[in-house]
Amino acid sequence: MSNHRRTFLRRTALLGSGLAGAATGTAAADPGAADLDATASARIEGTVRHFGAPVTDATVRIDSETSTVTDDTGQYALAVENGEYGLEVTAPGYASRSISVRARDGETVTRDVRLEREWGPGTGELEVSATPVGGGRTIPCEIDVFGDERYGITASRGSVPDNETRGKGFEVSEGWWEILVTSAEGYSDGYGQVLVEDGETAFGWVQLAEGDDEIPETGTIGGTVVDESGTAVVDATVRADSVQTSTGGDGAFELELEHGRHRIVASAAGYERVAGDVQVKFGRTTELTAALRSADSR
């Protein structure tokens, strides 16, 4: 990043090096059912999501001749023969995912897939404008963008670039970027997402509604700690960064953390500790279950 850019970008701690969350959603129309091979003996179907939201136009592939893309609801369907398959799922801005699937004659196998976002190695430019709903003059505000880094600026003219940024937008890694607009007088906070491609300029337009609603920069991780049999573990410790809590009688816990990726560690007396990365979203709850293995089972 050039020196003049550092004069107007406030670089803060890394918040999101990837994304993951509980997959939730609703079923919709069967994607591409008419295109399925009527002679095939089995079927693999499911939904591709990122943090509960459908991923559109993801490629779901078994081999060079057997593939499909997800529809607007993130659903896919493939007709296959009896056998064991390696299912590969790819989408721009997301890390690819591979899973094994066993399909038997006359069977429909459901495999939902969660994708995590990834960034780089290329770079692009992200321009942002904040206007009233439907358009109009840009509104002075604070603009923060979140990806593999976090950048923020006071946009006195309601956009990046403006006269103070020398005609430049945010120079960022290729991938999905989230935009948070705050401190716009007379307007509620706004949020948007945009995919930045290598060598390209992407435009993020955030429309602000009149009001004073705020989008919190924190989210919640909630879940349970269980043992190998699925029984709740009481008084287990769950921590992330410098925040920690203990589970109650039902094994439940809850942590409030800043938006972004966090390392979660769960431990309890007599059990091996477990750790993993979890994504926290603005004002959202990420549900997870931490399964501990008895130290005596080694």
Over residues 133-149, mean pLDDT: 95
Same domain, 195 and 260: no
Domain annotation covers residue 30: no
Sign, Cα dihedral of 50, 56, 61, 66: positive
Give strand pairing partners of 260: 280
Same domain, 11 and 143: yes
How many domains, in total, are found in the chain?
A: 3
Q: Residue 153's pLDDT is what?
A: 93
Q: How many helices (H) and strands (E) does the chain have?
A: 1, 27
> CA–CA separation, 193 vs 168, rounded Å?
19
Same domain, 7 and 137: yes
User: In Å, what is the CA distance from 281 to each residue of 32, 173, 211, 291?
Assistant: 32, 20, 22, 23
Mean pLDDT of the chain: 86
Least confident span in 87-96, 245-254, 279-288: 279-288
- Residue 3 scores a pLDDT above 50: no
Domain end, chosen from 70, 94, 114, is at 114
Same domain, 222 and 282: yes
Domain end, chosen from 208, 239, 271, is at 208
Same domain, 127 and 201: yes
Over residues 256-265, mean pLDDT: 91
Domain end, chosen from 184, 208, 232, is at 208
Domain annotation covers residue 26: no
Quote the domain boundaries for residue 201.
3-15+121-208
> CA–CA separation, 272 vs 294, rounded Å?
6
Domain annotation covers residue 91: yes
Q: How confident is the model at residue 10 (pLDDT cuts 50, 70, 90)?
A: very low
Percentage of the residues of the chain whose pLDDT score is greater than 90: 73
**Burial class of residue 190, CB neighbours in 10 A (0-12, 13-18, 19+):** buried
Same domain, 228 and 251: yes
> CA–CA separation, 129 vs 258, rounded Å?
24
Q: Residue 295's pLDDT is what?
A: 85
Q: Closest Cα to residue 129, out of 93, 150, 153?
A: 153
Same domain, 202 and 257: no
What is the domain-level CATH number for residue 194?
2.60.40.10
Sort strands 175-182 and 141-146 into parallel, antiparallel or unpaired.
Answer: antiparallel
Same domain, 84 and 132: no
Domain annotation covers residue 227: yes
pLDDT tens column, 16-61: 222 223 333 333 334 444 345 555 789 999 999 998 899 999 999 9
Domain annotation covers residue 175: yes
C-alpha of 252 from chain center: 24
Domain annotation covers residue 161: yes
Same domain, 7 and 131: yes
182 or 12, which is more confident: 182
Q: Residue 162's pLDDT is what?
A: 81
What is the domain-level CATH number for residue 84?
2.60.40.1120
Q: Tokens at residue 97, please?
A: 């995912």
Same domain, 171 and 288: no
Domain annotation covers residue 45: yes
- Residue 68 scores a pLDDT above 50: yes
> CA–CA separation, 163 vs 74, rounded Å?
41
Same domain, 51 and 100: yes
Question: Maximum Cα–Cα distance for the chain, whole Å?
Answer: 66
Domain annotation covers residue 213: no
What's the length of the chain?
298
> CA–CA separation, 190 vs 201, rounded Å?
21
Same domain, 86 and 133: no
